[in-house]
Structure 1
């Protein structure tokens, strides 16, 4: 688990894995055969660890992969097999006590709820690894033929509402992939809840609205706010 000592080790696990949602916008199927990421203009970052059991996993070496077919218009989540070491990040996350009481969004994957957490994490990425730090993600088809290559800044993060496009200063829409830091932090909290005794994700309050039939009003019903109801502990 990120932020905790690995099995039989004293060092803290700071490995993360990059995944990308790939959309085939062509009229023909695409067969991905390999994928890799590279560190660009960054300090204190390194490769470390590997993923073996995820679905749609791609290594840089073709012989280690099962090709992934993406039909026209289809979206597939692809995971890069090589791990990335976020050296020094675990202690910063632990020191941010505001994360301990954050709410999460019931999505897949679990996401933290709040721009302030995304902005904070992006700021830490810039401070630790450089304001211009990036990852270059490359997907290949066939015999190492690049089908997509893009640079993703580490000091900029986005949330659930971002869909890969941004508007420049002239008002033009451009493709601008970013890292979903709300998903990373949400999954971090989810893993803590599963593996750390005594820790649980803060449950958002529920506001109760009573619906009262009333034929004298428009819509034939009116509403009464009963206030916030606390969630029972499981």
Structure 2
């Protein structure tokens, strides 16, 4: 069966959204990535920026250069024959699940009927798809969280988490890029700097890439943190 045709939604006077569906699904996300790549390759006059999400692509444009109708037609044509999205890469991310980085692990373990060690092992043992950046610059949203770690968000936001915090909630995993309050639950932290405005590219992982976590102890975390290193490619 052929994929459902996307729909175009107006998002103000200078943006539109191409929506592929309503679920968190790798196939939908791949279609988003393919359109994002096709749009970049087309280099359309008037397009300012494209923002991929779980299941849609928002395109900001200059209405004095290209109209909503004209851009919609071009995007739907690209979506019909987008070509392939960039090949996925796999990144290895060191992750420390020891104190003081496991602030919410005990609560998560109790709520889910697990031990603290099981929470860390389940999180580290999965492979995650990079679905989108959102909420704050560089905040990395991941799919692939084991069902056993499916837990709701906190009823009230917790105090600010540090950059690199490993967060879970609502069947999703997230890596924080900046310090801020959140309703997500912190079960670890990575020393890797995943987002740096002074670096090119600012964010290394692309939509569709794969993340694997590598557990490290507190001493190794401190050593890696001092280097302020980015992501490292993972093996096969």
TM-score, normalising length from structure 2? Answer: 0.22
Bigger fraction of residues in helix? 2
Bigger fraction of residues in strand? 1
Higher relative contact order structure (alpha carbons within 8 Å, sequence separation ≥ 6)? 2
TM-score, normalising length from structure 1? Answer: 0.23
